[in-house]
Structure 1
Amino acid sequence: MITLQQRAIAHFDLDCFFVSVECLHDSQLKGKPLLIGGSSDRAVVAACSYEARRYGIHSAMPMKTALRLCPHAIVRSGDMDRYSEKSREVTSIIADKAPLYEKSSIDEFYLDLSGMDKFFGSLKWTSELRKAIIKESGLPISFGLASNKLVSKVATDEAKPNGQLEIPFGAEKNFLAPMPIEKIPMVGKETAAQLRRRGVETVKILSEVPPSLLEAWMGKNGISLWRKANGIDDSPVVPYYEQKSISTESTFPADTIDMEFLHAELVRMTEKIAFELRQQNKLTGCVTVKIRYSDFETVTKQMTIPYSCSDHVLLEKVKDLFKKLYDRRLLVRLIGVRFSHLVQGNYQINLFDDSQEMISLYQAIDHIKNRFGWDMLLKGTNVVPPDKRKYPAPKKDIMPYYKG
Structure 2
Amino acid sequence: MNAPQRYIAHFDLDSFFVSVEVMNDPSLKGKAVIVGGSRERGVVTSCSYEARKFGVRSAMPMHQAMKLCPHAIVVRGTRGEYSRYSRWVTEIIAAKAPLFEKASIDEFYLDLTGMDKYFDPYKWTIELRQEIIDSTGLPISFGLATNKMIAKIATDEAKPNGYIFIRPGMEKQFLAPLPVNKFPGVGEHTFQVLKEMGLHTIRDISETPAALLEKKLGKYGPELWRKSQGIHEGIVNPYHEAKSISTENTFEENSADVAFLLQELVRMTEKVAYELRQDEKLTGCIAVKIRYPDFETTSRQTTIDYTLRDDELIPVAIDLFHKLYRKGKPVRLLGVRLSELTNHPVQGSLFEDAGKKNQLYKAIDDVKSKFGKTALQKARTVNKGK
Aligned-pair distance for 1:292?
1.3
2:178 is aligned to 179
2:283 is aligned to 284
Coordinate RMSD, CA, aligned: 2.3
Q: Percent identity?
A: 55
Aligned-pair distance for 1:32?
0.5
Aligned with 1:254: secondary structure? strand
Q: Deviations 1:205-249 (Å, cap 9, x if unpaired)?
A: 333444445445444444433332322111221221111211111
Aligned with 1:178: secondary structure? coil
Aligned-pair distance for 1:351?
2.5
2:309 is aligned to 310
Q: 2:350 aligns with which of 346, 349, 352?
A: 352
Aligned-pair distance for 1:280?
2.3
The answer (yes or no) to whether the contact 2:158–2:164 under 8 Å persists in 1 is yes
1:248 is aligned to 247
1:62 is aligned to 61
1:79-228 aligned within 5 A: 79-228=78-227
Segment drifting more, 168-177 vs 273-282: 273-282
Q: Could you tell me how far apart the structure 2 residues matched to 1:323 and 1:217 are?
A: 60
Q: Could you tell me how far apart the structure 2 residues matched to 1:361 and 1:190 are?
A: 29
1:25 is aligned to 24
Segment drifting more, 174-183 vs 48-57: 174-183
The answer (yes or no) to whether the contact 2:39–2:66 under 8 Å persists in 1 is no
1:6-45 aligned within 5 A: 6-39=5-38, 41-45=40-44
2:3 is aligned to 3
Q: Could you tell me how far apart the structure 2 residues matched to 1:269 and 1:217 are?
A: 47
Supply the AA of the counterpart residue of 2:381: N
Aligned with 2:380: secondary structure? coil
| Distance verdict in 2 for CA 1:129–1:191, change over 3 Å | same
| Distance verdict in 2 for CA 1:149–1:381, change over 3 Å | same
Supply the AA of the counterpart residue of 1:173: K
| Distance verdict in 2 for CA 1:320–1:158, change over 3 Å | same
Q: Could you tell me how far apart the structure 1 residues matched to 2:380 and 2:193 are?
A: 45
| Distance verdict in 2 for CA 1:121–1:323, change over 3 Å | same
Q: Could you tell me how far apart the structure 2 residues matched to 1:357 and 1:89 are?
A: 31
Alignment length, in residue pairs?
385
Aligned-pair distance for 1:156?
0.3
TM-score by length of 1: 0.88
Segment drifting more, 220-229 vs 293-302: 220-229
Q: Deviations 1:287-334 (Å, cap 9, x if unpaired)?
A: 111111233221111001111222222223222222222233112221
Q: Deviations 1:37-96 (Å, cap 9, x if unpaired)?
A: 222622222111111111211112222322232222111111111111111111111112
The answer (yes or no) to whether the contact 1:62–1:356 under 8 Å persists in 2 is no
Aligned with 2:177: secondary structure? coil
Q: Could you tell me how far apart the structure 2 residues matched to 1:222 and 1:375 are?
A: 41
The answer (yes or no) to whether the contact 2:264–2:381 under 8 Å persists in 1 is no
Q: Could you tell me how far apart the structure 1 residues matched to 2:252 and 2:208 are?
A: 60
Q: Could you tell me how far apart the structure 2 residues matched to 1:365 and 1:213 are?
A: 43
Supply the AA of the counterpart residue of 2:268: M
Q: Does the alignment pair 1:324 with 2:323?
A: yes
Segment drifting more, 126-135 vs 52-61: 52-61
2:235 is aligned to 236
1:251-262 aligned within 5 A: 251-262=250-261
Segment drifting more, 348-357 vs 331-340: 348-357
| Gap runs ≥5 in structure 1 | 393-404
The answer (yes or no) to whether the contact 1:78–1:350 under 8 Å persists in 2 is no
The answer (yes or no) to whether the contact 2:267–2:381 under 8 Å persists in 1 is no
Supply the AA of the counterpart residue of 2:287: T
TM-score by length of 2: 0.92
2:366 is aligned to 367
Q: Could you tell me how far apart the structure 2 residues matched to 1:86 and 1:374 are?
A: 35
Aligned with 1:376: secondary structure? coil
Aligned-pair distance for 1:146?
0.3
Segment drifting more, 320-329 vs 6-15: 320-329
Supply the AA of the counterpart residue of 1:291: I
Q: Could you tell me how far apart the structure 2 residues matched to 1:124 and 1:238 are?
A: 23
Aligned with 1:287: secondary structure? strand
| Distance verdict in 2 for CA 1:327–1:2, change over 3 Å | farther
